[in-house]
């Protein structure tokens, strides 16, 4: 499998993990130092709140 597909699978798995978090926890993660964490938290928070 090529690197691009691996990256997509990794991202999808990370997003699925974040999607299982509660809204209050996602809000907390918006202030994380890690940009990827903040990005995933914001994405999943938007999904969870339909915004």
Q: What's the pLDDT score for residue 51? A: 80
By the 8 A CB rule, do 38 and 32 touch?
A: yes
For residue 6, name the pLDDT band (cuts at 50, 70, 90).
very high
The predicted model gives 13-30 an average pLDDT of 97
For residue 1, name the pLDDT band (cuts at 50, 70, 90).
low
Determine the structural domain holding residue 22 and report its residue range. Answer: 3-49
Using a pLDDT cut of 90, give the percent of the chain over it.
Answer: 92
Is the model's pLDDT at 24 over the cut of 70? yes
The predicted model gives 2-11 an average pLDDT of 94
Pick left, alpha or beta for residue 50 (phi over 0 → left; psi -120 to 50 → alpha; otherwise beta): left
The domain tally of the chain equals 1
By the 8 A CB rule, do 22 and 48 touch?
A: no
How far is the C-alpha of 17 from the C-alpha of 12, rounded, in Å? Answer: 9
């Amino acid at each position: 499998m090529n690197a691009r597909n691996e990256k997509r699978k990794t991202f999808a798995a990370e997003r699925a993990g974040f999607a299982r978090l509660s809204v209050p926890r996602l809000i907390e993660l918006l202030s994380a130092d890690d940009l990827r964490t903040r990005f995933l938290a914001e994405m999943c928070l938007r999904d969870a709140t339909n915004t």
